[in-house]
A and B are shown apart, each in its own frame.
Chain A
């Protein structure tokens, strides 16, 4: 079955550590997105990528980094510069063109101890 796989589902981090969240899709979608979800604030866009080897900052990119070396993969690194990293992170993808539907992964819950 096609879909988006995020790992790990739960992650604990000590302050000062970088962590990388994995996102893999087998939908053959061109565009991929990372969102952060906090209670009462909805989904906020961190980074997005329309094609391989290209990505753009979203609304809250500070303290995060991404790469897009393969069409299927869009990992997100939460760096120690992110002051409040505890959140639910969602990866999504979109085929592009006229298919204007965003498909989400199951999410990764990051907790900073």
Chain B
């Protein structure tokens, strides 16, 4: 069964600190992996998208890594800001014609002053 699992489920950090979120998946065949940020009451916004051949991709203070061999990804947030408080969702796309996305349950991040 194709699944995407994220950890931790929730995380509280102090403003200015770094943090790393984890994502493990069993989706096959694999097309790409995306990290989204979802603010409360809003739709998901794409942070990064990586294909099989990409190991790392950055978007400002967000850096995503992908190990396609172990089927693991991480999202590292540097110098966190209060506005980083949100849910971060790992999403994997199957390599088929359906273009369906398989969602992780998300990590709820709270950045405190």
Chain A bound to chain B: no
Which chain B residues have a beta carbon within 8 Å of chain A's beta carbons?
none
Which chain A residues have a beta carbon within 8 Å of chain B's beta carbons?
none
